[in-house]
Structure 1
Amino acid sequence: MKTNKIIIILLAFVSSISFTSCVEDGDFTVPQNLGVEENENLNALLDSINQGFVELKSIKDLKKIYISGSNPIEIVSNIAVKGYVISSDENGNFFREFYIQDQPENPTSGIKVAINLTNINTKFNFGREVYVRLKGLYIGETNSGDGVTAIGGKVKLVDNREIDNITVNKSLNHFFRSKTIAEIIPKIVTLGDINNPENLCTYVSVENAYFAGNIEGKTYIDPTEDFDTKRTIETCQGPGIVEAFVETSSFADFANLALPKGGGFLNAVVSKDFSGDFTVLVLNSADDVNMNGTKCTTESLSDFSTILLNENFETTSGDINIAGWTNYSEKGTKLWRSYFDNDVQSRAANIGSFRSGNASTISWLITKGIDLDTTSEEYFSFDTSTSFADSSTLEVLISSNWNGLETTITSANWEKLPARIASNSDDFRTFINSTYINLSNYTGTVYIAFKYIGSGDEDFDGTYEIDNVVINAK
């Protein structure tokens, strides 16, 4: 199946080179002022939205109707979304696709658009505000199960679990550019947090980054690869190193440039690799990489000798019942439980809604209160694993105003921590470290919560495991 996909991609690319001049897809200049007809079509859509004939949904809400790995869904209702273009194929690193996110700054969600169009940047340029009328289009994945929700034109003939590109002629009735070209401000994220589903298909910036030492002097692409190359980048995060991948197409015009040897930052679109196994950062241009400074250095773990929290669940059994901790079911009947993991030969905590019969499962496991006023710098870490997480989710949250009572859990203020959490693509036999998460911006007594969300539905009944919950401090 993968071989067939590669052949199709290669043939499509060659065809685009040969026939670009023949494509009837409008004006190949970046539009500053839209034509009369295009303005009229956009205004007609906006009038329909204002009058309630078309519902303007958020990208986040649109993505909720589709479950990764399932069959594509045809949109049959009058709905539309608005987004801002964050990708560019000008330098050849994107092909017949572009990405939009819901806001120019601090986006909460983004989505891919699969379209049978070349020179996309001249029509849907970086920062362009775009409206998409969705009735008659499909929501799904171009690569089933990779987690990248996309808007497409139809179901693929060769795989009914995947969507095919929107044709140029069809796109004319669904995509409407406004005159607005917004300044896109990249969202600053840590490498440990790029796996967060909220960051997928958004434009981000990673600071204190550098390419791994073992690829120093190499180019963005491996000359032995036919299509894409993943290059490891690293960042310093307290006493640890965090890794991720920058993926570059062999057809990118910067493919053969040497990787920078210093440290700095890069801006990129968060996506998935071809196999769907890894979250990757995709550059619009080599100019989005600024690594002319010195590489960061990690702190020594020995400097964080004060242990504010250390729980490995070895002395627990049954439902988790640890002094000072809270094991609470907001919805459903499932609580966090202790179990023995045969793969790592130790005890851990797990939660899952498999065969629960519950329409909704929301379960919290909350640490005891941690006083951060007695130390100067703190780092939180833990390990996670998953046994078929499906579309259930695990969030790690922190609160500095919860009073410790179950009745006030949902009314307290909880902030999401930028943790690396195991996903379906990770080996279920191993635990994934969260990376070291800096808690120095918090003061007073805080509580950290592991919040599981699922249901008895087989698409949402996955299982998560946690272990080695530690806070090191100076």
Structure 2
Amino acid sequence: MKKYNSIFNYIFIIVSALFITGCVHDDKYNEPDLENYQCRTADYYTKPENNFQKWSLADLKAKPQNVTITEKAYIEGYVSSTDESGNIYKTLYIQDAPVNPTEGLTVSLDMVSTYTRFPQGSKVYIEVKDLAISTYGGVKQLGMITPAGTRILEKEVPNHIFRDCNIRANIVPKVLTMTEMMTANDNLIGCLIQVNNVEFDGRALCTTFAPNGQTVDKTIGEGWDAANKRYLKTAIVRNSGYASFANQTIPAGKGTFLGIYSKYNSAYQLYINKVSDLNMEGDKDGDGIDEHFPRLDGQTKNPCNFSETGLTAKSVADIKQLAAGLAPNGLVQITGDFYVRAQITANDETGNLFKYLYVEDATGGIRVNINRADLFLENRFKVGKDLNIKLKGLYIRNVSGELQIGSNDSSSAVAYRIKDEEIYKYLFDNNTLAKSVVATERTISQLSSGDVGRWIKIKDLEFIDGDLGKTYADGTATSNRTLKDCTGNTVTLRTSGRAIFGLKAASTIEVAGGRGDIYAIVSIFNNTYQLWIPQLNNIVFTNPRCDGSVYNPLATIYSDEFANGGFSADWTVKNVLGPQVWTTSNQGNGTNYYAVMNGFVGSSNANEDWLISKSVSLAGKTKAIVNFTTDVRYAGNALQVYATENYTGDPATTTWVQLPATLDTNTAAFGDWVSSGNVDLAAFLGKNVRIAFKYTSTTSASATWEIDDFKIKAQ
């Protein structure tokens, strides 16, 4: 099957959200009951009869990697971390002293809730025989070599890690500047450190630590370059969506940050043990003043607290009136101290809308362009929520007839969207529960300029006959399909090929063949009305078509998803030139296999290789198509797709017909599988047909081509 790993991650988020509450955690934990947990004292390891060697953390990290330790040795340290909040997962961090440590260590464990056995500050002894040092993401860690990875198995933890029966220290964070964090201090990875006079950057302001089930990076900054409006030093803060504090809003002031020091490859990062370790917001001395402002970037108060004071309320219709007469692609800045409160009617949850959402009030709807992906993960951007928008400083732009809110930045990186780092200045959660979005009912002939931006419902529509059998989009492109009512009026449906509806890409889902109702956003392009659906279930076409007929989609008469690896007898592999041949792989996709051809081994090689399907009968068929998906990486010749009714056994002597299939064109990355579309096989009706994929490469360029989800459909 075609792989959309991001979709499975998304499903995981939704399932997880059922178990993770949105309440605020106060970080006041009960002390774990350690009475029945095993412990030891230092003299156990110093007794001659026990025959232990003592290694320092530095000694241990200097040992050969990925080699099981055979010496009877132990290390000791103090637990610097706690996983009670859930932000740290299956990892125990220790340091060699509770104050001014010189070495830290990452211990990888296949267990959770380690705080119940090894609370922060506990002195621990780790017997390292049968364990091993390995490196993950540039960090040396202690674990155990197992078929499942390099974590110490949960059942083995009691055999290796022991808490001191008497000693539990107060871990005093080691103070580092960000400059010190990013220099030769890798020996301190795993230690609890403190960074002073820092703040979360503008992109993090007014957001939560992490969306449910998602691990995300936020950024803290130190020092401020006023001339260039940037921090002199920054560091990554890694937050888990499973942390008890994930749904809390990030502190908006400047102050002191405590966290576990780590890194991933070359990027240094920090993990929060608990939110109470952050002293970056709030009136700490009770005098009514938040001492954490002004911020380094000049903000004098918490920017996330929306107030109507000094602002004049405007409606969506008022906003559009500010741009009355604006020429296409023209811009006008909003200079008044205005705000609008409107309900979010559509967001980017499926990717059919990208980096924008629509809002609507009683007077109309409008698009808001925002330079941030996955807006739907943020609570303030959920469909049905009321959003407060401060308008001063924003721009209204006429985009081919549609008025939209955004910025004046035309760079490709921003594309007239509100800048990521400035979202907090303009868009505010109204802090009320989401309400049902009510669609305005229209017919095609009733659509007017006042409906542009609105969430509407149109009843009794169907796709035109020419679109039946097509998918909602072609490849990754944004495609047009045509809807009509029973009197012949038509309107365009626009769908992005990058949209994911449920488990499938829009480019793999055939348009609905019946008649029914559609819920959609109205847009306009050069005087032509267009509809956009945020979800596939916004189309409910379950009734017979206008002429009373029931459309039956083409049946699959042959398919192969290469699911088990290897080619069955249905496929012929022909090597004409070069040492490489077609094969199957599941790299990066677990148990899901696909066909792959790559002419690069050490260097590019000249190749010509064919992958040819079995003969499939189209006898008695009146319509037939072939459909498959492709993925390409690296520069090289395009894959060629052919069909034949009379394969001779030799590609060179066979008469081939080249097929106009849509192929992936993104050579920069794997994973963006593209549907071929329904490639017509009308020339082979009543005959036997074989489909062939021809791969070629040269000594200067050899792309990697992958094929999956091969289907021939007919009726």
TM-score by length of 1: 0.50
- How far off is 1:32 after superposition? 5.0
Cα offsets for 1:4-59 (capped at 9, x unmatched): 9x98xx79x98xx9xxxxxxxxxx97355566xx35x55674244x5682111111
1:109 aligns to what? 103
Q: Distance in 1 between matches of 2:268 and 2:73?
A: 29
Of 205-214 and 168-177, more deviation after overlay is shown by: 168-177
Q: 1:297 to 1:171 in 2, by over 3 A?
A: closer
2:277 aligns to what? 288
Pairing of 1:95-106 with structure 2 (within 5 A): 95-106=89-100
Q: Does 1:148 align with 2:139?
A: yes
Cα offsets for 1:450-472 (capped at 9, x unmatched): xxxxxxxxxxxxxxxxxxxxxxx
SS in 1 for 2:259: strand
Native 8 Å contact 1:186 1:205 kept in 2: yes
Cα offsets for 1:357-396 (capped at 9, x unmatched): xxxxxxxxxxxxxxxxxxxxxxxxxxxxxxxxxxxxxxxx
SS in 1 for 2:276: helix
Q: Distance in 2 between matches of 1:43 and 1:81?
A: 11
1:172 aligns to what? 158
1:182 aligns to what? 169
**Structure with higher RCO (Cα < 8 A, 6+ apart):** 1
Pairing of 1:441-460 with structure 2 (within 5 A): none
Q: Among residues 27, 30, 33, which one is paired with 2:32 in the alignment?
A: 30
Q: 1:286 to 1:78 in 2, by over 3 A?
A: same
Q: Distance in 2 between matches of 1:232 and 1:219?
A: 13
Native 8 Å contact 2:34 2:117 kept in 1: no
Q: Distance in 2 between matches of 1:278 and 1:220?
A: 19
2:329 aligns to what? none
- How far off is 1:238 after superposition? 9.3
Q: 1:298 to 1:263 in 2, by over 3 A?
A: closer
Native 8 Å contact 2:207 2:250 kept in 1: yes
Pairing of 1:222-237 with structure 2 (within 5 A): 222=211, 226-236=213-223
1:278 aligns to what? 267
1:192 aligns to what? 179
Letter in 2 for 1:147: G
Q: Does 1:253 align with 2:239?
A: no
Letter in 2 for 1:185: V
Letter in 1 for 2:56: S
Q: Distance in 2 between matches of 1:3 and 1:74?
A: 34
- How far off is 1:198 after superposition? 2.3
Q: Distance in 1 between matches of 2:146 and 2:258?
A: 33
Native 8 Å contact 1:236 1:296 kept in 2: no
2:527 aligns to what? none
1:456 aligns to what? none
2:429 aligns to what? none
- How far off is 1:78 after superposition? 1.4
SS in 1 for 2:83: coil
Q: 1:31 to 1:129 in 2, by over 3 A?
A: farther
- How far off is 1:233 after superposition? 0.4
Q: Distance in 1 between matches of 2:138 and 2:104?
A: 12
1:412 aligns to what? none
Larger-gyration structure (1/2): 2
Q: Distance in 2 between matches of 1:63 and 1:234?
A: 31
SS in 2 for 1:198: helix
Name stretches of at least 5 consecutive residues in structure 2 with no aligned partner: 20-29, 282-291, 299-715
Native 8 Å contact 1:227 1:249 kept in 2: yes
Q: 1:65 to 1:253 in 2, by over 3 A?
A: same
Native 8 Å contact 1:29 1:123 kept in 2: no
1:262 aligns to what? 253
- How far off is 1:167 after superposition? 1.7
- How far off is 1:271 after superposition? 1.5
Q: Among residues 115, 121, 125, which one is paired with 2:119 in the alignment?
A: 125
Q: Does 1:89 align with 2:83?
A: yes
Q: 1:150 to 1:130 in 2, by over 3 A?
A: same
SS in 1 for 2:112: coil
1:361 aligns to what? none
Native 8 Å contact 2:196 2:256 kept in 1: yes
SS in 2 for 1:246: strand
Pairing of 1:32-431 with structure 2 (within 5 A): 33=35, 38-39=38-39, 42=41, 45-48=44-47, 53-66=51-64, 72-141=66-135, 143=136, 146-156=137-147, 163-178=149-164, 179-195=166-182, 196-222=185-211, 226-236=213-223, 241-273=232-264, 276-292=265-281, 293-295=292-294, 297=296
Native 8 Å contact 2:199 2:296 kept in 1: no
SS in 2 for 1:60: helix
Name stretches of at least 5 consecutive residues in structure 1 with no aligned partner: 18-27, 158-162, 300-474
- How far off is 1:155 after superposition? 3.9
Native 8 Å contact 1:116 1:166 kept in 2: yes
1:305 aligns to what? none
Q: Distance in 2 between matches of 1:91 and 1:222?
A: 15
- How far off is 1:286 after superposition? 1.0
Letter in 2 for 1:289: L
Q: 1:291 to 1:31 in 2, by over 3 A?
A: same
Q: 1:190 to 1:156 in 2, by over 3 A?
A: farther
Q: Distance in 1 between matches of 2:224 and 2:73?
A: 42
1:336 aligns to what? none
Cα offsets for 1:197-236 (capped at 9, x unmatched): 122111100000100123211111156xx53111010012
- How far off is 1:122 after superposition? 0.6
TM-score by length of 2: 0.34
Cα offsets for 1:281-330 (capped at 9, x unmatched): 0001111111121255499xxxxxxxxxxxxxxxxxxxxxxxxxxxxxxx
> How many equivalent residue pairs?
263
Native 8 Å contact 1:235 1:296 kept in 2: no
Q: Distance in 2 between matches of 1:192 and 1:76?
A: 39
Q: Distance in 2 between matches of 1:114 and 1:83?
A: 15
Q: Distance in 2 between matches of 1:267 and 1:43?
A: 30
Q: 1:189 to 1:114 in 2, by over 3 A?
A: same
SS in 2 for 1:259: coil
1:413 aligns to what? none
2:550 aligns to what? none
Q: Distance in 1 between matches of 2:258 and 2:88?
A: 15
Superposition RMSD on alpha carbons, in Å?
Answer: 3.3
Native 8 Å contact 1:105 1:187 kept in 2: yes
Letter in 1 for 2:234: E
